[in-house]
Amino acid sequence: MRGTILHLAQSSEAGVARVVTDLAAGQCATGDHVIVACPAAGTLPRTAARCGAEVVRWDAVRSPGPALAREVAGVRRIVGTVRADVVHLHSAKAGLAGRLAIRGRLPTVYQPHAWSFDAASAVLRAAAVRWERTGARWAHQVVCVSEGERTHGVALGIRSRYTVVRNGVDLEWCGPPEVSAREAARSRLGVAGTGPLAVCVARLCRQKGQDVLLDAWAEVEERMPRARLVLVGGGPERSVLAARASSTVRFAGAVVDPRDWYLAADLVVLASRWEAGLALAPLEAMACSRPVVVTDVPGAREFLPRRQVPSAVVPLEDPGALAAAMTRLLADPATSRALGEEARAHVRRHHDVRRVVERMYDVYDEASRVWAAGVHGPDEHL
């Protein structure tokens, strides 16, 4: 592209931060001027700056509310200053404030990273769907990370120009798959000599379902008393979850680099209530040769080796099924290692982050083409 790309993100931690950082790193390496506008807190400002992006402060909170007018004004100031060739909006709040501020006056790409209405209460869900239908007119491309996410939006009447770009992983970052890497990681983390280890890397919030995971873990403990569970991540539900966790559960807090936890694990699990597809953490775990167990969110099956789907995907909010899947893998190290090796090969074939960067350039080119043609709404044709 060789131009100026502006990434706008409210979430400056966890999976969104990783996606934005990976894109920024690849785009900077290509020679583009990359600007990341995000809140000052979180990991994203530091990781984006390290990969060569210019970081601009954008003060924004997660939920819509009284601060929205100020957040929209902040986007207008940033856009007026940086003169971007394309604007890439990441997640619901950036999608809301960014589209209200820009209104299609620049080539605009919106990437929900899971639809906002799935996180809304019953009272707010209808309003969130109405907004996404309205806001679609101000996005020249909507990027979904799975066909399931795209289908979900279409089914609710969000008419837009969709492109599916599945998540990718920095394969060089993932490290060696050897058994020695597992033992070295356990030593660094202070869990050397422990029994079977399950790890969940996710923000501690209702979406990620750690409450369901703890219910399942109570069953795992009964069958495997030496097993341990580590929850890696910070978030609003920590105190509530900690109050109900047993002594075999450890809270590791938020980490900038979760790689050692993947390498230390025998199994990586995520009990999400909703996602855009498969969250980034299970993909990273697979790239580190670790088997995963995930819930059957739309699109999750698209990311896994086909023969692993029956054992790796469990129903939503079903602690019994989750416990059974975890126990099978934790009790059978040889099968777990074989599944992990197969998962690593699958990710290397299909989810290299370099392909994501290349695909996103195609998305930017298409958004620019639609914008240049003066198309303003999803119902218009070139």
Could you read off the pLDDT of 179-229 as tens digits, one per residue? 678 888 898 998 887 889 999 999 999 989 999 999 999 999 999 999 999
- The superfamily in CATH containing domain 171-350 is Glycogen Phosphorylase B; (3.40.50.2000)
Task: Output phi, psi for 379, to 5 deg.
Answer: -90, -10
- The superfamily in CATH containing domain 4-168+353-372 is Glycogen Phosphorylase B; (3.40.50.2000)
Domain with CATH 3.40.50.2000 in the chain: 4-168+353-372, 171-350
Determine which of 125-134, 166-175, 218-227 has the lowest per-residue pLDDT on average.
166-175
CB 45 within 8 A of CB 51: no
Determine which of 58-72, 98-112, 238-252, 322-336 has the lowest per-residue pLDDT on average.
58-72
pLDDT at 382: 44
51 forms beta bridges with none
pLDDT at 119: 72
Task: Output phi, psi for 198, to 5 deg.
Answer: -105, 140
Tokens of 136: 């679609």
Question: Per-residue pLDDT tens for 47-90?
Answer: 999 999 999 999 988 777 788 999 999 999 999 999 899 999 99
Comparing CA positions, the residue from 301, 258, 363 lying closest to residue 17 is: 258
CA dist 130 → 20, 50, 135 (Å): 27, 39, 9
pTM over 0.95: no
Question: Per-residue pLDDT tens for 305-346?
Answer: 888 998 899 999 999 999 999 999 999 999 999 999 999 999
Comparing CA positions, the residue from 169, 178, 171, 176 lying closest to residue 145 is: 169
pLDDT at 381: 43
Comparing CA positions, the residue from 268, 280, 270 lying closest to residue 339 is: 268
Tokens of 363: 């998305």
CB 138 within 8 A of CB 378: no
249 forms beta bridges with 229
> Is it the case that residue 98 has pLDDT exceeding 90?
yes
Confidence of residue 14 (pLDDT cuts 50, 70, 90): confident
Tokens of 264: 């230390």
* Interhelix angle 333-350/319-330, nearest 10 degrees: 100
pLDDT at 172: 79
Amino acid at 32: D
3-state secondary structure string, 336-369?
Answer: HHHHHHHHHHHHHHHCEHHHHHHHHHHHHHHHHH
Quote the strand ranges of the chain, DSSP E.
4-9, 33-38, 54-57, 86-90, 108-111, 141-144, 162-164, 197-201, 228-232, 249-253, 267-270, 292-295, 313-314
Say which DSSP state 169 is in. Answer: B
Quote the strand ranges of 14-156, DSSP E.
33-38, 54-57, 86-90, 108-111, 141-144
C-alpha angle 287/321/281, rounded to 5°? 25
Confidence of residue 149 (pLDDT cuts 50, 70, 90): confident
Percent of residues, the chain, with pLDDT higher than 70? 95
Task: Output phi, psi for 86, to 5 deg.
Answer: -150, 145
CB burial string 7-26: b at 16+ within 10 A, e below: bbbbbbbbbbbbbbbbbbbb
CB 149 within 8 A of CB 115: yes
Residue 176 in 3-state DSSP?
Answer: coil
**Most confident among 165-174, 246-255, 277-286 (mean pLDDT):** 246-255
How far apart, in whole angstroms, are the C-alpha atoms of residue 359 and residue 346? 19
> Is it the case that residue 112 has pLDDT exceeding 80?
yes
pLDDT at 335: 93
Question: Per-residue pLDDT tens for 286-309?
Answer: 999 999 999 998 778 888 888 899
Mean pLDDT of 153-175: 87
Q: Give the number of residues written for the chain.
A: 382
Mean pLDDT of 253-275: 91
pLDDT at 377: 58
pLDDT at 178: 66
Q: Is the dihedral of CA 364, 368, 370, 375 positive or negative?
A: positive
Tokens of 343: 């998962």
CB 199 within 8 A of CB 232: yes
pLDDT at 175: 62
In angstroms and rounded to an integer, the radius of gyration of the C-alpha atoms of the chain is 21
Question: Per-residue pLDDT tens for 369-378?
Answer: 999 888 655 5
Residue 118 in 3-state DSSP?
Answer: helix
pLDDT at 128: 87
